[in-house]
Amino acid sequence: MGDEVYSQLMKELSEGKFVFTGELEPEKAGDVEEPIKAARELVGLVTACNVTDNPQSFAYVSSLAAAYKIQLETGMECIYQLRCADRNRSALLSDILGAGVLGLKNILALTGDHVALGDTPDAKPVYDLDSTTLIALIRRVVDEGKDLAGNEIHNPPKLHVGAAAAPGAAVLKAELAKVRRKIKVGAEFIQTQVVYYTEVVDRFFKELGKVDVPVLIGIFPAKTYAQADFFDKYVAGVDVPPDYLQNMKETKAIKDKEKRKEEVDRVNIEFFTGFLEHLKDTPAAGCHIMAVGYPRIIPELKKVME
Amino acid sequence: MIAQEQKPIEEILGYLDGKQKVVVMGCGGCATFYHTGDKKAVKEMSERLRKEGKEVTEIILPLGVSACEIDMSSKYMEKKRRAIENADALLMMSCGDGVQVVAEYIEERIGATIAVVPANDALGLVGGGPRKFKETCQMCGQCELGKTAGICPLTACGKGLMNGPCGGVREDGKCEVDPEKDCAWVRIYERMEKLGELEDKFEVMREPHAWSRAKRPRLFEIEEPVKPVSAILGSLPSYLTLLGGPEYKEEE
């Protein structure tokens, strides 16, 4: 890993600041107006935003195109998510080089949900590389100016690469061995899957052991009960505490829209204040807030860490 | 062996649309094993085709011989040469390899141009039995088993990852794609743990798989040609052992 810092994200992480990142989702559309609008609302609230690459294998606007436009039009630094599900190593390399050309500075290297789970289930799954070998490819491009086959790259891009981790993984020891493997090949930061239990965070850091890369814990303050319920029921490795679920469920009964919003915010602030207070006593370097379309909650969360 | 199942009859009839005289050919290899090209399956198919108004002019059953071993199976075809020459189509009850090997023989060696259509769908190279089978090898040309505790992740992992597990492992260690299937990488982890290979082999990155060895279609040549008779004779000592005969010993 080189010591050079190319992005605001890595700058703040290397300075030891507690960093907040957000998330933006391109849609199935011919424009990126929605994520641009969302990015504008997050400017000043988070250091950088992930731009998702076909989450759950639903095909949306390319995260490369979206991240470029968002960064250009809003000034929000983007963490370009890049998954192996849809591209072979040649296409991945092209996109990595393209990201550099377009001024992107951070890539989150992902394996990606299986295409059979998405909205185009007959598509051929690629997975020529996986998250580990994608990280290795990016590092080889940036550090050595070479691709996986050893071909020289003229004027290689300056990019940082991050990896995902799943603290709530069903078979945690195997997941942690994989996370250490990704760090060994050069991941420079970690963003985790959503976690609701502080016990899960503690176990993750304890069993991961000492690592020299910053870890941002993923959180998801739900805007509605349905969102929280979805995470609990359908997202692998994520459990939502019953009390939080129940409190969110009770907000559904509030007829007045404004009052309901206030109550949802209150439930989230109460829950996440405790969660974030706890994070202060862990090695967490920041928080990755995946609450898409819920920017008003972020200043409240940041207050806890100030 | 090549697992296979019969296609829906509507699909088969669709391929035979407009073809009146049909030769039905089975396979004495995998298709006999999986009952998709054995004597019974070929007989039932012929009856069905007759019911649909087709004229089944001949049945070819290469008993004990795989259709793809054309050097042997062609001897059965040669006996029914005239029927093949006069047919509108040959319905091949084997895997896709048998279909194509037989079609090529008919075209090039018999000198007849007739439609050779498939009756089955091949489902992969599988092992196990007698009822349940599992695909474990995809014949990629560059075996990775030495790096993965003898479990092929290219085949056993839904995503074919060389460096898993992915984040989609279910609570019970099953795959995100299919709750019926075990996560290959959890199996690899557990097996390496037992073998004491975790630190040396699990946490290191395996290089991306070299797909150049699977460049299709692959052609393959061996120096000593296949000799079915000597292969059978060569296997005899082990058959004898199986039947209670003397233990097979390596010759000095």
Closest CA to A193 of A131, A137, A247, A104: A131
Please indicate, yes or no, whether residues B74 and B119 belong to a single structural domain of this protein: yes
**Average pLDDT, integer, range A233-247:** 92
Which residues of A are less than 8 Å from B140 in CB distance?
none
Closest CA to A166 of B96, B167, B111: B167
Cβ–Cβ < 8 Å for A194, A290: yes
Contact (CB<8Å) B162/A111: no
Contact (CB<8Å) B169/A111: no
Please indicate, yes or no, whether residues B154 and B191 belong to a single structural domain of this protein: yes
The confidence score (pLDDT) of residue B237 equals 78
Strand partners, A31: none
Which residues of A are less than 8 Å from B171 in CB distance?
170
* Token pair for A213: 């890369």
- Decide if pLDDT at A2 tops 70: no
The CA distance from A180 to A278, in Å, is 24
pLDDT digits (tens, 9 = 90+) for A183-201: 999 999 999 999 999 999 9
The confidence score (pLDDT) of residue A153 equals 98
Mutation site, B159, B178, B211, interface A, largest A CB count within 10 A: B159
By CB neighbour count within 10 A (0-12 exposed, 13-18 middle, 19+ buried), where does A150 fall? exposed
Cis peptide before B237 (omega within 30 of 0): no
**Average pLDDT, integer, range B151-178:** 94
Is A7 near chain B, with CB under 8 Å? no
Local confidence band at B247 (pLDDT 50, 70, 90 cut-offs): confident
- Give the A window 130-159 contacts with B, CB below 8 Å: 130-133, 136, 148
Share of chain A above pLDDT 90, in %: 95
Is A193 near chain B, with CB under 8 Å? yes
Please indicate, yes or no, whether residues B146 and B195 belong to a single structural domain of this protein: yes
Length, in residues, of chain B: 252
Number of C-beta neighbours around residue B135 at 10 A: 15
Which residues lie below 8 Å from residue B215, measured CB to CB, with a gap of 6+? none
H helix or E strand, kind and range, residue A93: helix A89-101
CA–CA min distance A22, chain B (Å): 20
**Average pLDDT, integer, range A258-271:** 95
Give the count of domains, chain B: 2
Is A91 near chain B, with CB under 8 Å? no
Is A232 near chain B, with CB under 8 Å? no
pLDDT digits (tens, 9 = 90+) for A134-158: 999 999 999 999 999 999 999 999 9
Local confidence band at B174 (pLDDT 50, 70, 90 cut-offs): very high
pLDDT digits (tens, 9 = 90+) for B43-88: 999 999 999 999 999 999 998 899 999 999 999 999 999 999 999 9
What is the count of residue pairs from A and B with beta carbons less than 8 Å apart?
Answer: 97
Sheet containing B21-25: which strands, arranged edge to edge? B55-60, B21-25, B89-92, B115-118
Strand partners, A82: A109
Nearest CB to B208 within list A89, A170, A181: A89
The confidence score (pLDDT) of residue B252 equals 55
The CA distance from A126 to A92, in Å, is 11
Is residue B8 a part of any domain in this protein? Answer: yes
The CA distance from B150 to B127, in Å, is 15
By CB neighbour count within 10 A (0-12 exposed, 13-18 middle, 19+ buried), where does A228 fall? buried
Is A101 near chain B, with CB under 8 Å? no
Q: Give φ, ψ of A97 to 5 degrees.
A: -65, -40
Please indicate, yes or no, whether residues B58 and B147 belong to a single structural domain of this protein: no
Contact (CB<8Å) B168/A129: no
Is residue B101 a part of any domain in this protein? Answer: yes
Range of the domain at B51: 2-125
The CA distance from A253 to A58, in Å, is 32
Please indicate, yes or no, whether residues B64 and B89 belong to a single structural domain of this protein: yes
Which amino acid, B89? A
Mutation site, A171, A180, A190, A211, interface B, largest B CB count within 10 A: A171
Domain boundaries, chain A: 8-305
Local confidence band at B13 (pLDDT 50, 70, 90 cut-offs): very high
Please indicate, yes or no, whether residues B22 and B110 belong to a single structural domain of this protein: yes
Please indicate, yes or no, whether residues B58 and B88 belong to a single structural domain of this protein: yes
The confidence score (pLDDT) of residue B36 equals 98
- Decide if pLDDT at A1 tops 70: no
The CA distance from A175 to A169, in Å, is 7
Q: Which CATH architecture has domain A8-305?
A: Alpha-Beta Barrel (3.20)
The CA distance from A171 to B170, in Å, is 8
Give the CATH number of the domain where residue B113 resides. Answer: 3.40.50
Is A181 near chain B, with CB under 8 Å? yes
Closest CA to A173 of A219, A197, A206, A199: A206
Which of B125, B153, B188 is where one domain is finished?
A: B125
Is residue B249 a part of any domain in this protein? Answer: no
Which residues of B are less than 8 Å from A148 in CB distance?
208
**Average pLDDT, integer, range B238-243:** 81
Closest CA to A22 of A289, A222, A284: A289
Which residues of A are less than 8 Å from B209 in CB distance?
128
Which residues lie below 8 Å from residue A265, measured CB to CB, with a gap of 6+? A296, A297, A300
Which residues of A are less than 8 Å from B177 in CB distance?
114, 116-117
The confidence score (pLDDT) of residue B128 equals 94
The CA distance from A190 to A286, in Å, is 10
- Please name the residue of chain B whose CA is at the shortest distance from the CA of residue A165: B167
CA–CA min distance B220, chain A (Å): 25
Contacts of A238-242 with CB under 8 Å at 24 or more apart are A238/A168, A238/A193, A238/A194, A238/A195, A238/A196, A239/A168, A239/A196, A239/A197, A239/A200, A240/A196, A241/A196, A241/A197, A241/A271
**Average pLDDT, integer, range A51-78:** 98
The CA distance from A198 to A219, in Å, is 11
Orientation of helix A257-279 relative to helix A242-251, angle to 10°: 160
Please report, to the nearest 10 degrees, the dihedral formed by the alpha carbons of residues A296, A298, A301, A303 taken in order: -90
The CA distance from B150 to B155, in Å, is 12
Is A178 near chain B, with CB under 8 Å? yes
Is residue B229 a part of any domain in this protein? Answer: no
Please indicate, yes or no, whether residues B31 and B68 belong to a single structural domain of this protein: yes
The confidence score (pLDDT) of residue B66 equals 94
Closest CA to A285 of A216, A230, A184: A216
The confidence score (pLDDT) of residue B251 equals 67
Is residue B238 a part of any domain in this protein? Answer: no
- Decide if pLDDT at B232 tops 80: no
Please indicate, yes or no, whether residues B105 and B30 belong to a single structural domain of this protein: yes
The CA distance from B109 to B111, in Å, is 5
- Please name the residue of chain A whose CA is at the shortest distance from the CA of residue B179: A236
Please report where in the chains the tokens 């054309």 appear, as a residue: B70
